Amino acid sequence: MKMERVLDRQGRWRNKVVAFRMSPEEDALLDAKVRLSGLTKQEYIIRRLTDRKITVVGNPRVYKALREQMAAIYSELQRLTVTEEISPDLLETIQMVALTLNGLKEECE
């Protein structure tokens, strides 16, 4: 049985594998960004590495990711004590959610 090549939108065959290591925290942050973008992880990473624009288009999967991310942020903020500082990763996630929601708001107007 012959396998067909799966080409990208420009007709290129993606046959190169790129791998790298991440900490669990970096992996969680990347996963959150991917879910909120609505793209596949591969497409998200390629667009980020090639400085191409990532435009989030509202769809049920993106709205679900936003809802879940906001619930996680809320839980983390409830866990913090008054004297604890908010982690840079949490601040980055909050900023990412705010930018996504802002973009979706503009899309609706």
The answer to whether 35 and 97 have CB atoms below 8 angstroms apart is no
Confidence at 46, pLDDT banded by 50, 70, 90: very high
Map tokens 């190169």 to a residue. Answer: 16
Q: pTM higher than 0.75, yes or no?
A: no
Positive or negative torsion for Cα 80, 82, 83, 89:
positive
pLDDT at residue 30 tops 70: yes
For residues 101 and 104, give the distance between their C-alpha atoms in angstroms, rounded to a whole number. Answer: 5
The type of residue at 65 is A
SS3 7: strand
Q: How far, in Å, are 27, 56, 70, 108 from residue 77 at the CA level?
A: 20, 26, 10, 29
More confident residue, 68 or 6: 68
pLDDT at residue 85 tops 70: yes
Beta carbons within 8 Å of 43's beta carbon, 6+ residues apart: none
